[in-house]
Amino acid sequence: MTVLLIRNVRPLGGAAVDVLVAQGRIAALGPDLATPADALQEDGGGALLLPGLIEGHAHLDKTTWGGPWYRNAVGPTRMHRIDNERAWRSATGHDAAARSLALARAYLANGTTRMRSHADIDPDIGLAHLRATLRTAALLAPHLEIQVVAFPQSGVVRCPGVAELMDVALAEGAHVVGGIDPCQIDRDPVAQLDALFGLVEKHGKPLDIHLHEPGEMGAFSLDLILERTEALDLRGQVTISHGFCLGMIGATERDALLARMARMDVRIATTAPAASAVPPLAICHAAGVTVYGGNDGIRDSWTPYARPDMLDRAMHIGLRNALRRDDELDVALDCVTVSAAHGCGFADYGLVVGARADLVLVDAETTGQAIVATPVRRLVVAGGEIVARDGALLD
């Protein structure tokens, strides 16, 4: 395996150091490191050094990335988008394996070295998208580590057979139990959540549930999720994706829910959408709740927007939460780095000796500038090897 010495880089904009990479790990970090005889040398040229970026909420299987433009004419509700996607997929023979690989490679070229991606499971496609995403994960495994969520996009209770398919998916290697809007989609929250938590218990795998439900409805579902998390002692095993309700309900009710989330280390994954209420980042942090970032869908039948670039997503998190100061921009960066590692459970992370050598070099003075300018990734090291240069993957 490559021994790599990168000279003259500034970790998070600090003083210049050298970084020695060996056996896929950061072996040393400091000024004027000695050069091992077998080392490949890179001149960092004073670039800003970031740890590998982390995508906490993606849908690789849905994307049209690398294919023709999708002309979106979908109706206004979430159910319209769900039904539209299923019709489009079956009409076009959408290739989830090829498209997920194309998008995952674009993420890697932009310095994303770890990711959580939800893969649809429904009565039409069964496990085809899940297996396609697992295949992409296996192909990129040495460099981009992908957790795959068994995601019942169309519901669990209203789609007979989906809970059983999720059970098979988790036995086949899916890493996380998914879920969605137990009231709004399934119209039977107790039945959906009992099924999902049954899978969590059976497989010993974490839960990541989409909760778009507004206001009191979402707060009720969140209460049911927390009730089960507490009863089963699933500390650190549950993520609420979106959690829009936390940006809608009154402060007293919100703070009581956040206190319970902090006690059980229940995390929030936010995409910081421009047009929805969002969990308020500063208030969640003050309550001790981990918040991390994700793009959600990228150029699929749901949305024409987004890019596979976690610095860009950090900028959206900053915009949505009115972060201006440089120390506040560091909080946005944290959402796609350290908090995302904690939130998704990626170990051996960071710019420290012994961590997996996932390194990103950009031309920027500070981390704040890196977020707002989203400079081309000058060099990406993933799992100890150089995988991309000047924004392009090396093949």
The residues binding Zn ion (CB under 5 A) are: 296
101-130: burial string, b at 16+ Cβ within 10 Å, e else: bbbbbbbbbbbbbbbbbbbbbbeebbbbbb
The order of strands in the sheet holding 40-51 is 25-30, 17-22, 4-11, 40-51, 359-362, 377-382, 385-389, 392-393
> Least CB distance from residue 26 to Zn ion, whole Å?
32
> Least CB distance from residue 343 to Zn ion, whole Å?
14
Measured from the CB atom, is 119 or 329 closer to Zn ion?
119
Measured from the CB atom, is 64 or 367 closer to Zn ion?
64
Would the CA dihedral through 119, 55, 76, 71 be positive or negative? Answer: negative
Measured from the CB atom, is 295 or 321 closer to Zn ion?
295
Tell me which residue has its CB nearest to Zn ion: 296
332 within 8 A of 318, measured Cβ to Cβ: yes
Measured from the CB atom, is 297 or 383 closer to Zn ion?
297
Measured from the CB atom, is 210 or 254 closer to Zn ion?
210
Which amino acid would we find at residue 251? A
Measured from the CB atom, is 60 or 157 closer to Zn ion?
60
Measured from the CB atom, is 18 or 296 closer to Zn ion?
296
- Report CA-CA distances (Å) from 321 to 84, 105, 212, 305: 32, 29, 18, 19
Could you please report the per-residue DSSP string of 172-237?
A: HT--EEEEE-TTTTTS-HHHHHHHHHHHHHHHT--EEEEE---HHHHHHHHHHHHHHHHHTT-TT-
- Report CA-CA distances (Å) from 207 to 45, 146, 191, 316: 43, 16, 16, 25
> Least CB distance from residue 3 to Zn ion, whole Å?
40
Measured from the CB atom, is 120 or 358 closer to Zn ion?
120
> Least CB distance from residue 306 to Zn ion, whole Å?
11
> Least CB distance from residue 234 to Zn ion, whole Å?
21
> Least CB distance from residue 196 to Zn ion, whole Å?
16
Cα gap 342→107, rounded to integer Å: 20
> Least CB distance from residue 59 to Zn ion, whole Å?
6
User: Residue 32: how many CB atoms within 10 A of its CB?
Assistant: 8
Tokens 């936390």 belong to 246
> Least CB distance from residue 116 to Zn ion, whole Å?
10
